């Protein structure tokens, strides 16, 4: 994470950092955090939540990731718990000394009846950097997830570094999405062409998982000229967007997320009106929602 502190000298091997969050019901209608631990650049702070939702902010204690660094961030939300995670600032991928790529892995697990909103600030790929990002999400049947990812290719007026991003989603043990996107020097040719980013400087996605989408997924739709919502083959949906700057990208993703949540609310209402379904959707509208198909990836990315 980007930060103001000076990085201690670690040679060319890079820094290893591991942070863990565990959320559990506290028995009083709220959410407890029995595990909240970070080291090195990954500092975790509990911030004020609302209702039964706990909130955590990732704070950059050191600069990075730099070349050769290895970061791992894990969050587990147990059945009935609700957690929202954000970050205090954008993450800067920076060049390192030894020429090795940096790696940043995020592992998210959501139990049945649990809800997680994962909404970090953008990741900025600085010129000369080389970063491999992999976000894995495993959601149990009945769990809810809203995951936002925003990538910015270079600071103002500079070309990007090398950035490879992978997103993997499993729901109830079933693989629904596994996609790659590579940008910058060394990426497959055409990444900046009309079939992929089309000259845009930012790309983002929102991944939504909600039980309601199993029976009534949202309709695939274009959301303006540079954003789309597509249902996945399961209780999930994927929103993708490209833009020229981070502010426009955030606006596009926010508007698209609102549209997906409207679809979820409609699905909840339909389920409640169905014969024998009274009470089946109680409280569903309070959680994150959304779904997508494996072909709902950013143009030019690769889905497995």
Tell me the residue range of the domain where 136 lies: 17-186+194-271+287-303
Q: Would you state the pLDDT for residue 283?
A: 39
Is residue 1 a part of any domain in this protein? no
Q: Would you state the pLDDT for residue 223?
A: 87
Long-range contacts of 171-174 (CB under 8 A, 24+ apart): 171/139, 171/140, 171/141, 171/143, 171/209, 171/234, 171/235, 171/236, 172/139, 172/140, 172/141, 173/138, 174/234
Is residue 144 a part of any domain in this protein? yes
* Predicted TM-score (pTM) of this structure: 0.83
Closest among 173, 148, 174 to 238, alpha carbons compared:
148
Tell me the C-alpha distance between 304 and 302, whole Å. 7
Is residue 6 a part of any domain in this protein? no
Report how many domains make up the chain.
1
Is residue 264 a part of any domain in this protein? yes
Is residue 162 a part of any domain in this protein? yes
Q: Would you state the pLDDT for residue 281?
A: 37
Q: Which residues of the chain have pLDDT under 50?
A: 1-11, 277-304
Is residue 23 a part of any domain in this protein? yes
Question: Which tens digit of pLDDT belongs to each residue from 274-298?
Answer: 555 444 333 333 444 333 333 334 4
Is residue 123 a part of any domain in this protein? yes
* HSE value, Cβ hemisphere, 13 Å, CA-based, for 236: 33
Is residue 280 a part of any domain in this protein? no
């Amino acid at each position: 994470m980007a930060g103001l502190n000076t990085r201690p000298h670690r040679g060319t091997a890079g820094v290893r950092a591991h942070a863990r969050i565990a959320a559990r019901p506290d028995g009083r209608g709220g959410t407890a955090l029995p595990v909240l631990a970070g080291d090195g650049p990954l500092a975790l702070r509990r911030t004020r939540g609302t209702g039964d939702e706990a909130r955590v902010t990732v704070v950059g204690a050191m600069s990075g990731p730099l070349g050769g660094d290895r970061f791992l961030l894990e969050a587990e939300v147990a059945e009935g718990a609700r957690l929202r995670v954000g970050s205090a600032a954008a993450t800067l991928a920076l060049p390192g000394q030894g020429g090795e790529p940096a790696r940043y892995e995020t592992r998210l697990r959501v139990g049945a009846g649990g809800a997680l909103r994962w909404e970090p600030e953008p990741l900025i790929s600085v010129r000369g950097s080389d970063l491999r990002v992999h976000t894995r999400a495993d959601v149990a049947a009945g769990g809810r997830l809203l995951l936002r990812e925003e990538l910015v290719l270079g600071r103002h007026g500079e070309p990007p570094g090398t950035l490879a991003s992978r997103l993997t989603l499993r729901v109830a043990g079933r693989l629904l999405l596994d996609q790659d996107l590579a940008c910058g020097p060394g990426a497959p040719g055409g990444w900046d062409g009309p079939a992929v980013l089309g000259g845009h400087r930012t790309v983002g996605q929102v991944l939504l998982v909600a039980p309601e989408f199993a029976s009534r997924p949202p309709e695939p739709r274009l959301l303006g000229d540079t954003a789309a919502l597509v249902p996945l083959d399961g209780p999930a949906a994927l929103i993708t967007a490209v833009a020229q700057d981070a502010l426009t990208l955030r606006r596009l993703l926010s508007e698209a997320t609102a549209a997906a949540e409207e679809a979820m609310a409609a699905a909840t209402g339909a389920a409640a009106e169905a014969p024998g379904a009274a009470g089946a959707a109680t409280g569903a509208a309070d959680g994150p929602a959304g779904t997508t198909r494996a072909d709902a990836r950013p143009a030019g990315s690769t889905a497995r």
